[in-house]
Amino acid sequence: MDSKDSGKVITVIASLGEGNKTKEISYTDIKVVGSGSFGVVYQARLCDTNEIVAVKKVLQDRRFKNRELQIMRILDHQNIVKLKYFFHAVGERKEDVYLNLVLEFVPETVYRVARRYTRQKETIPMIYAKLYMYQLFRSLAYIHSKGICHRDIKPQNLLLDPSTGVLKLCDFGSAKALVRGEPNVSYICSRYYRAPELIFGAV
């Protein structure tokens, strides 16, 4: 899948986010909405329902299971972006296999909203700040109850639906199910959002 496929209809056999069933899905109107070291995120439209979705495409190491996929398949919470389907696809080189996560699409992020207020020399109204923080804490309480640590909390990973005010935590690429007594690397999380105890090696 590429941005040059924007007008094409792509049909794949995908696994449902929950359970072990598969389903043929078709999508079109593809455009890039984000990219980074992890891969690329596309916006697309499912042909059968006209639903707008996000498709996160990441290179899959054949030697390992994808931790993000494993974690997202067990999560079900109103403040966490939902995994609808997933499928694998071969890249331009036959040895390259890409994992595609089909996620619910949420149009905004806390980062972009905050930037708009800053450009207007304003601050986010306190009622909105409280609403967003409450929902963030709900999502964190939920994943922590399952022994999962997100490890990359930042405004860019907090999705917002402006029409409803609903916040959803996304991007579990750095997340990990913690095991008691098992050490974890401290060099994790985006640098400018890293906790002081991680920076100073106090954990």
From the list 65, 67, 140, 58, the residue with the least C-alpha distance to 101 is 58
The single residue of 76, 96, 152, 161 carrying the catalytic annotation is 152
57 is in an annotated binding site: yes
d(CA 192, CA 66): 26
Total count of residues recorded for the chain: 203
Give the pair of three-digit tokens for residue 104.
């619910």
Neighbouring residues of 99: CB distance < 8 A, sequence distance ≥ 6: 57, 58, 59, 60, 66, 69, 86, 88
Tokens 């994790």 -> residue:
188
152 is catalytic: yes
Give the pair of three-digit tokens for residue 127.
């009622």
- Give the residue ranges of the annotated binding site: 57
Active-site residue set = 152
- Give the residue ranges of the annotated binding site for ATP: 57
